[in-house]
């Protein structure tokens, strides 16, 4: 197959982990006879420096012509005091909105060999295998904002259609997984949550094989830590999803190895590691490329339908961890570790 991919390395360790992920992608391309055509473009701080715009028109054009986007990370202290429009995150928010990437998928699965690094007890974290499905282009992120000297406001607003499509996506994902869906809201306080809950209730008729529960966001914030095994697919709005997906990312101790996908209803999507740009270690060649590599696997699965290829990557990463090979972020101070490139070599060798 021929696939066009726009690569947006971004800031900090973004370029390093993306370089590693691209090496893996090329190996897969060769082995399975796929023609992956890569084109590089700027986003975030790098784009601000070059074009004074965190998401230049040129980048948008290139993404439009491609089948998927692979992103590193954006941000860094250099741009922290810029006005809102000239901040790296703005590039991220804009690309989500421009391409209508309404579904953010964040799987969290325990790697047994990494559980020592988890803040949770082994028995609490070891069987975790969940996916947070976050609405990504609506809600309080994009509602009307007002500001005067003495007052500020943000409107949280959702239409039926916005909720329906993310809820459908979550049901579809639950079908492919363990068949359980937890919908998270604050229906005892918010009108948007009451509409959300009503739509989930309506939709569940269409998915009789899925076990559905509703739970309040405060209660889920607790249960994600006390009993994370309970969850399979968790679907929620943009703001709650931002908080809960980050909270969930620490469960297994492997924040540095978590991938994410931001997709829409056709197969186009943006794939990026969950971790940030980690400017403090950028350029040292020690960043953990696992999350970027696993993001490539998600791209193969969700955008290109290449399940076998995706599984091969996931298995290779798993094997390398099981062999006890880790980058610096996963070993205790002073213990030997692999560089980004060495670790990627290991994965490729599998």
Ligand X SMILES: CC(C)[C@H](C(=O)O)[C@@H](O)C(=O)O
Instruction: For residues 135 and 176, give the distance between their C-alpha atoms in angstroms, rounded to a whole number.
Output: 19
Q: Binders of its own copies among 242-261, rule CB under 8 A? A: 242-247, 249-251, 255
Give the pair of three-digit tokens for residue 173: 């994902």
Burial of residue 313, with CB atoms counted within 10 A of its CB: 0-12 exposed, 13-18 middle, 19 or more buried: buried
Instruction: For residues 34 and 113, give the distance between their C-alpha atoms in angstroms, rounded to a whole number.
Output: 32
92 binds ligand X (CB under 6 A): yes
Residues in a beta bridge with 145: 154
189 binds ligand X (CB under 6 A): yes
Give the pair of three-digit tokens for residue 250: 């620490």
Q: Which does 27 bind (CB under 5 to 8 A by kind): its own copies, ligand X, none?
A: none
Q: Binders of its own copies among 204-223, rule CB under 8 A? A: 217-219, 221-222
Give the pair of three-digit tokens for residue 183: 């919908």
Burial of residue 109, with CB atoms counted within 10 A of its CB: 0-12 exposed, 13-18 middle, 19 or more buried: middle
Which CB atom, from 56 or from 139, has the smaller least distance to ligand X?
Answer: 139
Instruction: For residues 71 and 42, give the distance between their C-alpha atoms in angstroms, rounded to a whole number.
Output: 10
308 binds ligand X (CB under 6 A): no
By rule CB under 8 A, what string of x and - marks binding of each residue 144-173 to its own copies?
A: -xxx-xxxxxxxxxxxxx------------
User: What's the farthest any 2 CA atoms get from each other in the chain?
Assistant: 62
Pairing between β-strand 103-109 and β-strand 129-135 as defined by DSSP bridges? antiparallel
Q: Which does 318 bind (CB under 5 to 8 A by kind): ligand X, its own copies, none?
A: none
Instruction: For residues 296 and 273, give the distance between their C-alpha atoms in angstroms, rounded to a whole number.
Output: 9
Q: Is 218 annotated in the active site? A: yes
User: Looking at 148, 188, 226, 333, which residue binds ligand X (CB under 6 A)?
Assistant: 188
284 binds its own copies (CB under 8 A): no
By rule CB under 6 A, what string of x and - marks binding of each residue 214-253 to ligand X?
A: ----x-----------------------x-----------
Q: Is 242 annotated in the active site? A: yes
145 alpha carbon, distance to own chain's centre: 26
As measured in angstroms, the least distance from the Cβ of 212 to its own copies is 16
Residue ranges for the known binding site for substrate are: 96, 106, 134, 218
Q: Which residues contact its own copies (rule: CB under 8 A)?
A: 84, 87, 89, 93, 118-121, 124, 140-141, 143, 145-147, 149-161, 186, 188-192, 194-196, 217-219, 221-222, 225-227, 239-240, 242-247, 249-251, 255
Binding site members: 76-89, 96, 106, 134, 218, 242, 246
């Amino acid at each position: 197959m021929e696939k066009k991919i726009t690569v947006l390395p971004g800031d900090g360790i973004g370029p390093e982990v993306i370089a590693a992920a691209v090496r893996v992608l090329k190996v897969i391309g060769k082995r399975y006879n796929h023609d992956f055509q890569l084109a590089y473009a700027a986003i975030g701080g790098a784009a601000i420096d070059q074009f004074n715009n965190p998401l230049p028109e040129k980048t948008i054009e290139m993404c439009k012509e491609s089948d998927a986007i692979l992103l590193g990370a954006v941000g860094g202290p250099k741009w922290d005091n810029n006005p809102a429009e000239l901040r790296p995150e703005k590039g991220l928010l804009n690309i989500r909105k421009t391409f209508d990437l309404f579904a953010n998928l964040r799987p969290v699965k325990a790697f047994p060999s990494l559980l020592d690094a988890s803040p949770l007890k082994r028995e609490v974290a070891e069987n975790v295998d969940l996916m947070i499905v976050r609405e990504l282009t609506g809600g309080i992120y994009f509602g009307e904002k007002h500001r005067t000297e003495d007052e500020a406001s943000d409107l949280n607003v959702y239409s039926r259609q916005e909720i329906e499509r993310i809820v459908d996506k979550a049901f579809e994902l639950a079908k492919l997984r363990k068949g359980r869906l937890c919908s998270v809201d604050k229906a005892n306080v918010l009108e948007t949550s009451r509409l959300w809950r009503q739509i989930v209730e309506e939709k569940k008729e269409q998915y009789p094989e899925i076990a559905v529960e509703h739970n309040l966001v405060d209660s889920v914030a607790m249960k994600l830590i006390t009993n994370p095994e309970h969850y399979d697919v968790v679907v929620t709005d943009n703001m709650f999803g931002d908080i809960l997906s980050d909270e969930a990312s620490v469960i297994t101790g492997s924040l540095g190895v978590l991938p994410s996908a931001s997709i829409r209803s056709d197969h186009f999507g943006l794939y990026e590691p969950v971790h940030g740009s980690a400017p403090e270690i950028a350029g040292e060649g020690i960043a953990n490329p696992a999350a970027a590599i696993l993001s490539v696997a998600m791209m193969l699965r969700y955008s290109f339908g290449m399940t076998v290829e995706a599984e091969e990557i996931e298995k290779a990463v798993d094997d390398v961890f099981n062999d006890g090979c880790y980058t610096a972020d996963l070993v205790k101070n002073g213990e030997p570790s692999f560089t980004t490139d060495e670790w990627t070599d290991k994965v490729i060798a599998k």
